[in-house]
């Protein structure tokens, strides 16, 4: 196999349910052609975090080998997506005096002011993942996008800082590096997904990306073209599957099949609302089935019989009948809880009245029928499904929400290779624990500011 040329970009999405590797080629007109991909169910991961390094490494290696065979080349590095409940974010402001005699702002001044914003107090077990400049202010004049070359005495910057626990980030680095592939950069997954599914117009107007994966739901809120808030909610598609398994007393595998084939989050059946008594922030109580039977006996006799679904029971070879109404009530209840938590996170950010473009749902669970209705009912905002756009026909299989982060990692890498290197770019090449700060400017301000 040939070694990966410089114009090739690799995205590696290490998720709770699947690991995906995509190899893309940057064309002359700055588009991406997908040359190869590999994807496999995840092993050794829980809620986006590695819990078994050996299993996770084996899964990552398998997807890399699949992508390499399809592209007929050997890769040396990749942009790697990271998520999990350990990720948190904060907005920070930095201020410096312009150091030059003629008061013209230089790249060094921009480096200093962002370093100033980066100096937030962190617990010893946490590490900075991203420092993204949102906007600059020169002598009280805000809204400056690229201050280099402008004149002023006082330079300020507003930044968005994402951090993660050192142990989780280090384990992810180890899992990738043990396959012989270096890490170009760790990228917070919703930032990568945003590259693939959000338009520039939506980012300028104000939009919230909600990436619903198997183990977590990632949130990225954009206003005036810049990232303003990110968060991780520890609920995903697996929680829906587990609820179905618990209430209907079927295996998780059978529950997943029922969810995919018959699930609908916008259920309006005769049992609508029963779950309100059983949902706090925890799982469904085990006495739900007895309460449900009581409600069925007391329900209006004019209600039409509910459709029954046949599935594998817990006992080998034994079939079981499941009410479709019950199935969809379970799904509706959990998605309602999820979007209640999304709404609470948006309100906590303080920007709940600043996203007129509404919600864009992506991730594998975004394929669930009726999920836009459930989200719109809770948040009272426009909702659409976001899938990767602008891919060639060859890559048509990637144009689904489940691959938003994978494709977004390649697009993120394209910006970096195209001279848009983020100032606080991090690398752990060679396995060291320290973060290397990138100093290339090029077009990075134009790419990451509105």
Query: What are 235-244's pLDDT values in tens digits?
Result: 999 999 999 9
pLDDT band at 61 (very low <50, low <70, confident <90, very high): very high
Please, which residues have CB within 8 angstroms of residue 324's CB and are 6 or more apart in sequence? 262, 306, 307, 308, 309
pLDDT of 434 above 80: no
Confidence at residue 156, expressed as pLDDT on a 0 to 100 scale: 95
Rounded average pLDDT over 193-209 = 95
CB 328 within 8 A of CB 267: yes
Please, which residues have CB within 8 angstroms of residue 10's CB and are 6 or more apart in sequence? 4, 21, 22, 23, 24, 67, 75, 77, 78, 79, 181, 184, 410, 413
pLDDT of 405 above 80: yes
The Cα angle at residue 366 between residues 246 and 218, in degrees rounded to 5: 90
Please, which residues have CB within 8 angstroms of residue 388's CB and are 6 or more apart in sequence? 196, 197, 398, 399, 400, 403, 404, 407, 408
Please, which residues have CB within 8 angstroms of residue 431's CB and are 6 or more apart in sequence? 173, 174, 177
Q: Which residue has the higher pLDDT, 182 or 320?
A: 182
Confidence at residue 137, expressed as pLDDT on a 0 to 100 scale: 94
pLDDT of 355 above 70: yes
| Among the ranges given (75-89, 199-213, 424-438), the one the predictor scored with the smallest mean pLDDT | 424-438
Confidence at residue 311, expressed as pLDDT on a 0 to 100 scale: 84
Which domains, and CATH codes, for the chain?
Answer: 88-163 (3.30.1490.110), 197-386 (3.30.420.40)
Confidence at residue 32, expressed as pLDDT on a 0 to 100 scale: 79
Rounded average pLDDT over 335-349 = 95
Tokens linked to 63: 């997807």
pLDDT of 23 above 70: yes
pLDDT band at 449 (very low <50, low <70, confident <90, very high): very low
Evaluate the CA torsion angle 72, 61, 197, 362 in order and state its sign.
positive
pLDDT band at 267 (very low <50, low <70, confident <90, very high): low
Question: CA 425 from chain center: how many Å?
Answer: 19
pLDDT of 285 above 60: no
């Amino acid at each position: 196999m040939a070694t990966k040329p410089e114009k090739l970009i690799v995205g590696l999405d290490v998720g709770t349910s699947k690991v995906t590797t995509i190899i893309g080629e940057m064309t002359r007109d700055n588009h991406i052609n997908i040359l190869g991909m590999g994807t496999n169910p995840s092993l050794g991961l829980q809620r986006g975090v590695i819990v078994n390094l050996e299993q996770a490494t084996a899964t990552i290696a398998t997807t890399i080998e699949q992508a390499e065979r399809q592209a007929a080349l050997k890769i040396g590095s990749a942009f790697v997506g990271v998520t999990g409940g350990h990720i948190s974010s904060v907005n920070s402001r930095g201020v410096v005096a312009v150091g030059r005699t003629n008061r013209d702002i230089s790249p060094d001044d921009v480096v200093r002011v962002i370093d100033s914003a980066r100096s937030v107090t962190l617990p010893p077990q946490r590490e900075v993942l991203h420092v993204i400049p949102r906007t600059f202010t020169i002598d009280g004049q805000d809204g400056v996008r690229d201050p280099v070359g402008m004149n002023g005495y006082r330079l300020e910057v507003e930044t968005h800082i994402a951090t993660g626990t050192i142990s989780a980030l280090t384990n992810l680095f180890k899992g990738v590096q043990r396959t012989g592939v270096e890490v170009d950069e760790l990228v917070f997954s919703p930032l990568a997904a945003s590259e693939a599914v959000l338009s520039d117009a939506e980012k300028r107007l104000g939009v919230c990306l909600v990436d619903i994966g198997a183990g977590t739901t990632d949130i990225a809120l954009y206003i005036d073209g810049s990232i303003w808030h990110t968060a991780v909610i520890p609920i995903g598609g697996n929680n829906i599957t587990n609820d179905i398994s618990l209430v209907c007393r079927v295996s998780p595998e059978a529950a997943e099949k029922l969810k995919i084939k018959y699930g609908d989050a916008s259920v309006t059946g005769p049992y609508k609302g029963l779950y309100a008594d059983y949902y706090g922030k925890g799982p469904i109580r085990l006495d739900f089935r007895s309460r449900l039977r009581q409600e069925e006996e007391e329900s209006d006799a004019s209600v039409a019989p509910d459709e029954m679904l046949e599935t594998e029971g817990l006992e080998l070879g034994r079939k079981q009948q499941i009410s479709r109404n019950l199935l969809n009530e379970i799904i509706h209840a959990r998605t309602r809880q999820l979007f209640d938590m999304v709404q609470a996170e948006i309100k906590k950010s303080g920007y709940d009245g600043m996203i007129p473009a509404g919600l864009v749902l992506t991730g594998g669970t975004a394929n669930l029928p009726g999920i836009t209705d459930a989200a719109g009912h809770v948040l009272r905002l426009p909702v659409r499904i976001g899938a990767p756009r602008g891919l060639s026909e060859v890559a048509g299989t990637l144009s689904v929400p489940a691959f938003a982060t994978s494709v977004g990692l390649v697009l993120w890498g394209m910006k970096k290779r195209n001279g848009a290197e983020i100032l606080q770019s991090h690398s752990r090449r060679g396995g060291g624990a320290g973060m290397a700060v990138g100093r290339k400017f090029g077009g990075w301000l134009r790419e990451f500011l509105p």
